[in-house]
């Protein structure tokens, strides 16, 4: 998700205060993603579970992709993308090169011909995926907290950025260790504890606007969004196989 200007954030922010948007946002996390995580982690022989996961992946994930493509192809967006050489390279050449790269990797095939190179390639791809979701979460959080821009310290955004980048790196660590958080390694727990402390520091910053009448609602919503996205990211830190399950909120955005 590209970085939004302050003017653009101020324009979009009122949309995120609408009751339906609030209900869909928090419903995607607490009524879809986290219940599916609980069901997947619970011992069960239910034959319905794979269909629920498939329904989320297809119903939200596939539509997420095609709706993004539809926005990309809007005349105003195409005009913006075609307005300079650097933007042409970013919005046309780079996506085409990425698609060609993946086609070449699968056609070679890279895994059989160069397994070591393939390992590093897929680690890079996986991190790009985790990082992309984290960047979108950070960008949307800035929209939610726009009414609080005069009530929070300026460094709060940097702390939030560090939190989401750190979560992406920890998700990569879990993926690199076979898809399960390496609980036996102290080197895995140390960054987890640091990120937990950082999260608490950020939460404390929201207590002041939360205590004020004029900013209470906006603070509650922004803080709730931060908690929801951190919970979803933490699930993917715990186990990579939960990653797609907790993307409901990302898809909806």
Looking at residue 181, its pLDDT comes to 96
Share of the chain above pLDDT 90, in %: 62
Query: Residue 167: which of 143, 132, 201 has the closest Cα?
Result: 132
Q: pLDDT by residue (tens digit) across 72-88?
A: 888 988 999 999 999 99
Q: pLDDT by residue (tens digit) across 96-130?
A: 999 999 999 889 888 888 999 999 999 999 999 99
Q: Which of 53-62, 113-122, 156-165, 216-225 has the lowest mean pLDDT?
A: 53-62
Domain-by-domain residue ranges, the chain? 6-43+115-252
DSSP state of 1: -
User: Residues in the chain, how many?
Assistant: 253
Mean pLDDT of 155-177: 96
Three-class HEC string of 60-115: HHHHHHHHHHHHHCCHHHHHHHCCCHHHHHHHHHHHHHHHHHHHHHHHCCHHHHCH
Q: Which residues pair with 239 in a beta bridge?
A: 180
Looking at residue 1, its pLDDT comes to 45
- Cβ neighbours for 191, distance < 8 A, ≥ 6 positions apart: 166, 169, 170, 173
User: Does 47 have pLDDT greater than 80?
Assistant: no
């Amino acid at each position: 998700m590209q970085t939004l200007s302050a003017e653009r954030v101020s324009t979009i922010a009122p949309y995120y205060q609408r009751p339906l948007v609030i209900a869909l946002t928090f419903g995607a996390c607490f009524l879809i993603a986290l219940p599916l995580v609980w069901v997947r982690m619970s011992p069960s022989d239910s034959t319905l579970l794979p269909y629920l996961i498939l329904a989320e992946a297809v119903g939200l994930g596939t539509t997420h992709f095609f709706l993004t493509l539809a926005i990309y192809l809007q005349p105003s967006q195409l005009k913006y993308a075609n307005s300079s050489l650097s933007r042409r390279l970013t919005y046309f050449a780079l996506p085409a090169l990425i698609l060609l790269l993946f086609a070449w990797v699968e056609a070679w095939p890279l895994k059989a011909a160069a397994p070591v190179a393939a390992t590093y390639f897929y680690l890079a791809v996986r991190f790009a995926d985790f990082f992309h979701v984290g960047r979108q979460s950070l960008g949307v959080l800035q929209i939610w907290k726009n009414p609080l821009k005069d009530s929070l310290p300026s460094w709060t955004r940097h702390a939030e950025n560090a939190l989401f980048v750190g979560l992406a790196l920890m998700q990569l660590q879990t993926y690199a260790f076979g898809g399960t958080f390496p609980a036996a390694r102290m080197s895995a727990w140390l960054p987890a504890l640091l990120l937990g402390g950082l999260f608490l520091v950020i939460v404390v910053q929201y207590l002041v606007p939360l205590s004020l009448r004029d900013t209470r609602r906006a603070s509650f919503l922004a803080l709730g969004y931060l908690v929801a996205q951190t919970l979803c990211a933490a699930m993917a830190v715990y186990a990579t196989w939960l990653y797609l399950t907790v993307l409901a909120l990302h898809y909806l955005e």
